[in-house]
Amino acid sequence: EEERKWLITPFATDALVFLVSPDNPVNSLTAEQVRKIYAGEITNWSEVGGLDQEILPFQRNSQAGSQALLKKLVMGDTELMDPPADYIPTMGEMTEAVRTYDGSAGAIGYTVYYYANDMKMGEGLKLLQIDGIAPDAESIREGSYPFLNPYYVVVAEDAPEDSPQRVLY
Protein backbone atom coordinates (compact mmCIF):
# COMPACT_ATOMS: atom_id res chain seq x y z
CA GLU A 1 0.00 0.00 0.00
CA GLU A 2 1.41 3.35 -1.05
CA GLU A 3 1.99 5.84 1.74
CA ARG A 4 -0.06 9.01 1.42
CA LYS A 5 1.78 12.33 1.25
CA TRP A 6 0.32 15.38 2.97
CA LEU A 7 0.63 19.12 2.65
CA ILE A 8 0.78 20.51 6.19
CA THR A 9 0.63 24.27 6.60
CA PRO A 10 0.49 26.22 9.87
CA PHE A 11 -2.32 28.78 9.71
CA ALA A 12 -2.63 30.11 13.28
CA THR A 13 -0.87 30.04 16.61
CA ASP A 14 -2.39 30.37 20.05
CA ALA A 15 -0.69 30.42 23.42
CA LEU A 16 -1.31 28.99 26.86
CA VAL A 17 -1.44 31.90 29.31
CA PHE A 18 -1.51 32.02 33.09
CA LEU A 19 -3.90 34.25 35.01
CA VAL A 20 -3.76 35.62 38.53
CA SER A 21 -5.62 38.25 40.51
CA PRO A 22 -4.42 41.84 39.94
CA ASP A 23 -3.92 41.86 43.75
CA ASN A 24 -1.11 39.33 43.32
CA PRO A 25 2.20 41.27 43.16
CA VAL A 26 3.88 38.63 40.98
CA ASN A 27 4.02 39.76 37.35
CA SER A 28 6.31 37.14 35.84
CA LEU A 29 7.18 33.49 36.35
CA THR A 30 9.75 31.36 34.57
CA ALA A 31 8.60 28.35 32.59
CA GLU A 32 10.36 26.21 35.20
CA GLN A 33 8.49 27.91 38.06
CA VAL A 34 5.14 27.28 36.35
CA ARG A 35 6.06 23.63 35.89
CA LYS A 36 7.06 23.34 39.57
CA ILE A 37 3.85 25.06 40.72
CA TYR A 38 1.72 22.58 38.76
CA ALA A 39 3.90 19.68 39.96
CA GLY A 40 3.28 20.74 43.58
CA GLU A 41 6.97 21.55 44.22
CA ILE A 42 6.43 25.30 44.64
CA THR A 43 3.47 25.84 46.98
CA ASN A 44 3.81 29.41 48.29
CA TRP A 45 3.93 32.68 46.34
CA SER A 46 6.86 33.81 48.54
CA GLU A 47 9.00 31.20 46.73
CA VAL A 48 8.58 33.15 43.47
CA GLY A 49 8.85 36.70 44.81
CA GLY A 50 5.27 37.14 45.98
CA LEU A 51 3.42 37.27 49.29
CA ASP A 52 3.58 34.57 51.94
CA GLN A 53 0.41 32.93 50.64
CA GLU A 54 -0.49 29.43 49.49
CA ILE A 55 -0.60 28.92 45.72
CA LEU A 56 -3.89 27.44 44.49
CA PRO A 57 -3.17 26.09 41.00
CA PHE A 58 -6.56 25.43 39.41
CA GLN A 59 -6.77 22.81 36.66
CA ARG A 60 -9.21 21.78 33.96
CA ASN A 61 -10.41 18.20 33.54
CA SER A 62 -8.26 15.73 31.58
CA GLN A 63 -10.45 15.97 28.43
CA ALA A 64 -10.06 19.76 28.17
CA GLY A 65 -7.90 21.14 25.38
CA SER A 66 -6.19 23.59 27.73
CA GLN A 67 -5.33 20.73 30.12
CA ALA A 68 -3.72 18.86 27.20
CA LEU A 69 -1.75 22.03 26.39
CA LEU A 70 -0.61 22.34 30.02
CA LYS A 71 0.73 18.78 29.87
CA LYS A 72 2.32 19.20 26.43
CA LEU A 73 3.77 22.71 26.64
CA VAL A 74 4.54 23.09 30.36
CA MET A 75 4.78 19.76 32.14
CA GLY A 76 6.49 17.48 29.62
CA ASP A 77 7.38 14.30 31.53
CA THR A 78 6.65 15.90 34.93
CA GLU A 79 3.54 14.61 36.71
CA LEU A 80 0.77 17.11 37.45
CA MET A 81 -0.22 17.47 41.08
CA ASP A 82 -3.79 16.72 42.08
CA PRO A 83 -5.78 19.98 41.84
CA PRO A 84 -6.38 21.87 45.11
CA ALA A 85 -10.14 21.89 44.44
CA ASP A 86 -12.44 20.13 41.98
CA TYR A 87 -11.40 20.24 38.34
CA ILE A 88 -12.80 23.32 36.59
CA PRO A 89 -15.34 22.22 33.93
CA THR A 90 -15.16 25.13 31.44
CA MET A 91 -12.82 27.92 30.34
CA GLY A 92 -15.26 30.54 31.57
CA GLU A 93 -15.44 28.90 34.96
CA MET A 94 -11.63 28.77 35.11
CA THR A 95 -11.31 32.54 34.78
CA GLU A 96 -14.24 33.05 37.13
CA ALA A 97 -12.67 30.71 39.71
CA VAL A 98 -9.40 32.65 39.67
CA ARG A 99 -11.30 35.96 39.80
CA THR A 100 -13.55 35.09 42.74
CA TYR A 101 -11.73 32.46 44.78
CA ASP A 102 -11.76 33.20 48.52
CA GLY A 103 -8.39 34.86 49.02
CA SER A 104 -8.17 35.05 45.23
CA ALA A 105 -4.70 36.59 45.17
CA GLY A 106 -3.45 33.05 45.85
CA ALA A 107 -5.13 31.43 42.85
CA ILE A 108 -3.54 30.77 39.47
CA GLY A 109 -5.26 29.38 36.40
CA TYR A 110 -4.68 29.10 32.68
CA THR A 111 -6.49 29.48 29.42
CA VAL A 112 -5.57 30.12 25.82
CA TYR A 113 -4.71 33.66 24.80
CA TYR A 114 -7.68 33.83 22.41
CA TYR A 115 -10.16 33.25 25.26
CA ALA A 116 -8.38 35.57 27.67
CA ASN A 117 -7.88 38.42 25.24
CA ASP A 118 -10.15 38.22 22.19
CA MET A 119 -13.18 36.82 24.04
CA LYS A 120 -12.46 39.08 27.05
CA MET A 121 -12.58 36.16 29.53
CA GLY A 122 -9.43 37.45 31.20
CA GLU A 123 -10.94 40.86 32.05
CA GLY A 124 -10.21 41.81 35.63
CA LEU A 125 -7.29 39.37 35.79
CA LYS A 126 -3.57 39.74 35.20
CA LEU A 127 -1.83 37.69 32.51
CA LEU A 128 1.59 36.68 33.78
CA GLN A 129 4.75 37.16 31.79
CA ILE A 130 6.66 33.92 31.25
CA ASP A 131 10.45 34.20 31.26
CA GLY A 132 9.91 37.98 31.19
CA ILE A 133 7.83 37.86 27.98
CA ALA A 134 4.23 39.10 28.09
CA PRO A 135 1.72 37.08 26.07
CA ASP A 136 0.43 39.39 23.37
CA ALA A 137 -0.25 39.28 19.64
CA GLU A 138 3.33 40.29 18.78
CA SER A 139 5.16 37.84 21.08
CA ILE A 140 2.89 35.02 19.88
CA ARG A 141 3.30 35.95 16.20
CA GLU A 142 7.09 36.25 16.41
CA GLY A 143 7.40 33.10 18.55
CA SER A 144 9.16 34.62 21.57
CA TYR A 145 6.45 33.71 24.10
CA PRO A 146 7.34 30.20 25.32
CA PHE A 147 4.00 28.34 25.53
CA LEU A 148 2.83 28.35 21.90
CA ASN A 149 0.50 25.97 20.12
CA PRO A 150 0.37 26.10 16.30
CA TYR A 151 -2.69 24.97 14.36
CA TYR A 152 -2.31 23.34 10.95
CA VAL A 153 -4.39 22.79 7.87
CA VAL A 154 -3.72 19.45 6.17
CA VAL A 155 -4.67 18.17 2.72
CA ALA A 156 -3.61 15.15 0.66
CA GLU A 157 -0.78 16.19 -1.68
CA ASP A 158 -2.55 14.48 -4.60
CA ALA A 159 -5.94 16.15 -4.00
CA PRO A 160 -7.11 17.65 -7.32
CA GLU A 161 -6.86 21.44 -7.59
CA ASP A 162 -10.64 21.81 -7.96
CA SER A 163 -11.56 19.35 -5.17
CA PRO A 164 -13.53 20.71 -2.21
CA GLN A 165 -10.70 19.90 0.23
CA ARG A 166 -8.09 21.67 -1.97
CA VAL A 167 -10.37 24.72 -2.36
CA LEU A 168 -10.89 24.85 1.41
CA TYR A 169 -7.15 24.33 1.99
pLDDT in tens, the chain (169 residues): 778 899 999 889 999 999 999 999 999 999 999 999 999 999 999 999 999 999 999 898 888 888 999 999 999 999 999 877 666 777 777 777 777 766 568 899 999 888 777 666 667 789 999 999 999 999 999 999 999 999 999 999 999 999 998 888 8
CA 24 → CA 43, 44, 48, 55, 80, distances in Å?
15, 12, 11, 11, 23
Please give the Cα distance from 67 to 142 (Å, whole number). Answer: 24
Whole-number pLDDT of residue 56: 92
The H-assigned helical ranges of the chain are: 31-39, 65-69, 91-100, 113, 137-142, 164-168
Whole-number pLDDT of residue 65: 85
Phi, psi dihedral angles at 105 (to 5 degrees)? -65, -15
DSSP-derived secondary structure letter, 4: P
Does the predicted model carry a pTM greater than 0.85? Answer: no
Whole-number pLDDT of residue 95: 78
Whole-number pLDDT of residue 93: 79
Please give the Cα distance from 6 to 3 (Å, whole number). Answer: 10
Whole-number pLDDT of residue 118: 65
Q: Which amino acid is at 143?
A: G
Whole-number pLDDT of residue 119: 66
